[in-house]
Amino acid sequence: MHTGDRDAGNAAGAAGAAGGAGAAAGAAGDAASADLARTANLLGALALEAAGAQEAATRPVVGQAGAAAAALVTIAAHPGRTIERLRAPLGLSQPGAVRLVERLVAAGWVERSGAGGRRGLELRLTPAGQAQLEELLAARRAALARLLDPLSEPERAQLTGLLEKALGARTGDRADLERLCRLCDWRRCHSCPVASALGSQDGSS
């Protein structure tokens, strides 16, 4: 075989190997993309189920849909908060927040106090509101715990770590903390990953 022919053969072999490697890498990339798409799809389905379970559990307790349950949780976590500061984590307009608070006051669950004016009236739970809060948190906890029933203790521990990591990654500022935790039973979350992520950011700034 002539030197030129041998060189051409080597080049063709190298090109074929490179092409094969590229095809394999492309196939691996497609498989990874497909796996990610499926995982995202499963997460979306479970997120809808969890949201529906929370709504179905808390709505009968508060007797109304929407942000009422989250409002009770937020006011309990931040007593003295005004309507203006309440509406942001709940995603409500100012008129919508006013109407919600009016309903909660009429139900006897929230009281308004303070001088008012430009600073606004301070909101706090009444004893009846505190009892309502305890009932709705217990109902929420039971509903979400049922979603975890199929998992073993090691699997639940693994899921806890993954959820902590994912929630921490969604935290950019305090507004994120209040939004993400607006329905949380914060007394049972001894090491909140959202608050921890926010603290880490504050410490590094």
pLDDT < 50: residue spans in the chain: none
- The predicted pLDDT at position 116 comes to 63
Whether 58 contacts 66, CB under 8 Å: no
Domain ranges of the chain: 64-150, 152-205
Looking at residue 112, its pLDDT comes to 94
- Is the Cα torsion angle 194, 200, 203, 204 positive or negative in sign? negative
Rounded Cα–Cα distance for residues 60 and 64 (Å):
7
Q: How far apart are CA 171 and CA 195, in angstroms?
A: 8
Tell me the CATH number of domain 64-150, given options 1.10.10.10, 3.30.460.80, 3.40.50.2300, 3.30.470.20.
Answer: 1.10.10.10
Question: pLDDT value at position 17?
Answer: 56
| pLDDT of amino acid 203 | 60
Q: What is the per-residue pLDDT across 83-106, written as a single tens digit (0 to 9) for each?
A: 999 999 999 999 999 999 999 999
- Determine if the pTM surpasses 0.95: no
Query: How confident is the model at residue 13, as a pLDDT?
Result: 57
Position 200 scores a pLDDT of 78
Answer yes or no: are the C-beta atoms of 194 and 168 closer than 8 Å: yes
